[in-house]
Chains A and B, each alone.
Chain A
């Protein structure tokens, strides 16, 4: 909403308050003033001139030589390039010495040999946006009404000495979509009174019902429809002050009838529509829902196909307006219009919103209906419009109003105590202060023993409950006066849940292990949605995605991590190690929320460790990633409960992929990217993993219990076992641990060999076994006994032989 400071003074006294100060006060009280536009863009010395003579410039086809009276001594000669300049016009003249926007100084000049003492200005040259300039003056100078006083300040007449406040209105403050509404707000803030326009309506003795009848078939959509007939109007320009105010408010002037409807829309917040009565095609108005497939050509010359979701104004046969949004071209007011039917109605916001949405057509009118108008002003606005048309379009107002009114209006009364106000705000506001605020708001109320009974005016439809009153009091009392306290009542310590605490530990561990935390998008495309998923479900699609790329919810974090790696590689960052903790979304049936499962995933590629001058360089491989995950399992106390099983998974290298099992249940995978996928993402050798974080963090683990530090020496024995190459180390290790019993404390692998010195198809794995008894020093014989059992076990289970 654009509010002209000059125009606003019509309704509320602004003496002593500059536009800037007013803007600050309004903002502080709750409506944000986004900007204060100074309309004068640096203009000085522009006055009204009277073109006394105009003749063709002797040396230039497109120039005119004018003699202009500017109210100072002799008329001056001015050369003008505007095509529409003519004798007898009142025009804006930038005198010699004047300044125009952009610090453009007007000097005495010679144009093609003819002296020019100033410049006749177009509105654009005075800094008015082209889209606001009346169409007939779009390509030339602006012509003032003939009564404009010669020598007067043109800026003042055009409201270019004005300042315009741009209000950014929240949806609850639709009441400020009008000058009168803003005036009430400003009056409340300043503690001043509101002056409403006086309406002097003179009706003739005809009866409007002889001209037109109204029927509303959709009363819920249109509880109030009122109209008047104004006859004998003469279409022409509206008065200059009205045009100037419209332009200040951001609306282009058209003609007196249209300008008056727009003026009333701005003044009262009541959208009006003027029909050319003679073009209506009937003597009745029927308001109804449109029929499916019915069409209307709106004022913007677009044919629109309607449905029964739209409300139309018809002449009993066909639509003449899309209710609350835009009129129809068939009944448009034109230059030859003589009789006008003015519509002032209350349309329900939902039906207007639907039309706006379906037709992508938002107007000053529809905005107001969508947000809700004050029905108490509907008929007053109609009267004011009719009166103005009589005054400024030479019309004659036909007696009476056609009206269908099924509006149920009750006064809203809110009762609240002073204590309640102070208890909610934490303040010590007095009864008198509250009464003062309510008075300034011009709410009627009674007060008895600290209880206020307040009748809410219909313009403030946003106020219905106690809290609304508390808010009014708070904002006008001023939040700066609100004390700062802390909640009283019992204070319990805050704490992370065990899950949240562990999740933080997981993050820190992974970061200290060398991975950066990534956050990627949850929405992906259909193809990527299910890639790498640990569990899959029917993809969850958005009803109305903005792009195919972000249309489906992900079931794995890996694809977007791969994209991140790829993004980095494309920017010469070849060594990438990222992890992400985030949700995947598994459908649960159409009417249920999906299962959201928190996952931990990672991507690693490039060099893992390099210490170049020492000749060390290690690329990421499977075991680098596995080592990090082993550390993670140890961090969570699960190191002995997770096992890796060779696995085959889509998109992963068939020989370099493992599933991870916690207590025998699959909780994740780790693997090298399949070369095909690697290429697809434009990556080099890359490893990924994904884990069910909830399974990891929710696994029950024992509390830490101290065990005695070894007091006796341990004995270490190494064995190198030769086995078939398909035997995996993990199985051997398990067998060793089982056979080693109580005394075997540690098993570690220190060598794996495959090659010339062994028979084809064989490999050797060397284990180091450490035996220990916490109670005593072990003897060699005891160790040898157990050790031999270990060897026997692996011989029997795997056909292992000791390597010589």
Chain B
């Protein structure tokens, strides 16, 4: 009997070994461990054994069953693993095929530049002021120390609608309006972005419509050195930490003293290249101390208050920053142009 069991175990283990799929393995299980299997049969024959032999034989039967069971489980695991691998292999895909595209648009490059500048100045405590594009002659010129007949009006040939109403030629009227709203009380600290219009023929460097950003700070004790510090801060954040700025004296009717502001070339670092035309400097801003007439007209006491103002052109900055060669690109909205500004 013992021999019979050992033989059965031997046989079963061999068949388990040979089974090459889960069904064959199950057949082996049923054949050897099933109710009608040979081991059950052996158990049935145990009645004929002596009471001393019975427990020994019982233990032996259990050992054999367990051995077969273990072999079955081990084989089952192996076969299952193989099956999974086979299935996975059949499911392989070509990972180099294109993914499902996410369609995205992006900011217009001018908006990109404008928002960056806005955020820089918001970080320095400015708020953003906006105003009408169709403006009164008063706010566009007169309140900015450009009375009728002033020679500097020639410098900005304008689109008039009536004698008193025109398309604003700069965003400065927003400054005049904001100051007026403050009713002679500081501080005023604003950035004014927006569209402006001039009677220019559109070509590679001129556009009858373009954008401007101006800034204005009016308070007691505002000094021209504050203007320099503020613009240096701006230049460094906008164009790189090692940028420097320089002031060149200039003339604007609404500021006095007036300066043009150059930023050291961000392309060559100041050694001279074709971007800065060999000078190492790039003219970026116009600025100055707010003219006392402008302060007074807006209701500020120019003995008590001083202020500075500055202005720049996002088109020019974008053209320099991205190497754009024609201002008309900004207004043609060619998708092949717009989509070049998709990156952060």
Contact = CB atoms under 8 A, between A and B. Distances in A.
Contacts of B222: 487
A467 B295 CA distance: 13
A424 B306 contact: yes
B105 A516 contact: yes
B104 interface: yes
B240 interface: no
A473 to B, nearest CB: 9
A613 B338 contact: no
Contacts, number: 243
Given A170-B250, A494-B124, A540-B134, A483 B306 contact: no
B143 to A, nearest CB: 15
A514 B250 contact: no
Interface string A328-372: 000000000000000000000110010000000000000000110
A424 B161 contact: no
B75 interface: no
Contacts of B161: 540-543
A546 B125 contact: no
A480 B97 contact: no
A621 to B, nearest CB: 15
Interface size class of B (residues with CB under 8 A): 35 or more
Given A427-B225, A613-B97, A518 B151 contact: no
Contacts of B125: 491-494
Contacts of B239: none
B195 interface: yes
A514 B103 contact: yes
Interface size class of A (residues with CB under 8 A): 35 or more
A520 B134 contact: no
A253 B98 CA distance: 75
Contacts of A583: 133, 195
A485 B133 contact: no
Interface in B303-344: 306, 330-336, 338-339
Contacts of A494: 121-127, 189
A468 interface: yes
Contact of B104 (A170, A493, A514): A514
Given A482-B224, A564-B333, A497 B128 contact: yes
A17 B70 CA distance: 105
B132 interface: yes
B233 A29 contact: no
Nearest to A594: B134
B186 to A, nearest CB: 8
A520 B268 CA distance: 34
Contacts of A579: 105
Contact of A480 (B105, B246, B251, B339): B246
Nearest to B222: A487
Nearest to A27: B248
A370 B292 CA distance: 25
B133 to A, nearest CB: 6
Interface stretch (A435-443, A568-576, A714-722, A782-790): A568-576
Contact of A546 (B208, B229, B246, B248): B208
Nearest to A596: B132
A471 B249 contact: yes
B209 A521 contact: yes
A590 B223 CA distance: 42
Contact of B162 (A370, A564, A591): A591
B108 interface: yes
B226 interface: yes
Interface string B174-186: 0000000000000
A480 B281 CA distance: 14
- Candidate in A426, A483, A567, A591 with the most chain B CB atoms within 10 angstroms: A426
Contacts of B250: 30, 32, 170
A385 B98 CA distance: 85
A20 interface: no
Nearest to B332: A567
Contacts of A585: 133-134
A750 B320 CA distance: 52
B43 to A, nearest CB: 51
Interface stretch (A375-383, A392-400, A505-513): A505-513
A542 B221 CA distance: 43
Closest 8 interchain pairs by CB? A426-B225, A30-B249, A426-B223, A170-B251, A479-B247, A471-B257, A514-B103, A494-B122
9 contacts: A480-B247, A484-B225, A486-B233, A496-B127, A517-B108, A522-B209, A573-B334, A593-B165, A608-B103
Interface of B: 97-98, 100-101, 103-108, 110-111, 115, 118, 121-128, 132-136, 149, 151-152, 154-155, 159-162, 164-165, 167, 187, 189, 195, 197, 199, 201, 208-209, 217, 219-226, 228-230, 232-233, 246-251, 256-259, 289, 291-292, 306, 330-336, 338-339
Interface of A: 27-30, 32, 170-173, 349-350, 353, 370-371, 423-427, 465-468, 470-471, 474-475, 479-480, 482-497, 500, 504, 507, 510-523, 540-546, 550, 553, 564, 567-568, 571, 573, 576-579, 582-583, 585, 590-591, 593-594, 596, 608-611, 613-614
